[in-house]
Amino acid sequence: MSEIINEKVSVLSFYDRNKGTALPIKLFWQGRAYKIKQVGYHWPARLGRKLVHNYCVVTENNTSFKLVHDTETLHWTLEEVIDEFAA
């Protein structure tokens, strides 16, 4: 089951200076913390002149989230939640 959320969230991320990569490691949404165990996909995209980074991540309870990081405002947005086990 997939649900469109489109809500600003807090994200703890890690920047690796050796690899030059930044990855989300924990998501905070609706009073809960979700530890990210895997980043499935990451792709940058332009929305007009704005650069955003899109991430599809999987948490420890196997729920998938689509996160967007806006490089202009530095806001994180939870765009979608995919729960494969929901009916």
Tens of pLDDT, residue by residue over 20-79, are 999 999 999 999 999 999 999 999 999 999 999 999 999 998 899 999 999 999 999 999
84, containing H or E segment? none
pLDDT at 85: 66
User: CA 85, CA 25: separation in Å to the nearest integer?
Assistant: 22
Most distant CA pair in the chain, distance? 43
* All residues at 6 or more sequence positions from 13 whose CB lies less than 8 Å from its CB, including other chains: 22, 23, 24, 25, 69
Residue 11, pLDDT above cutoff 60: yes
Split into its structural domains, the chain has a count of 1
pLDDT at 86: 59
* Domain extent for 46: 2-83
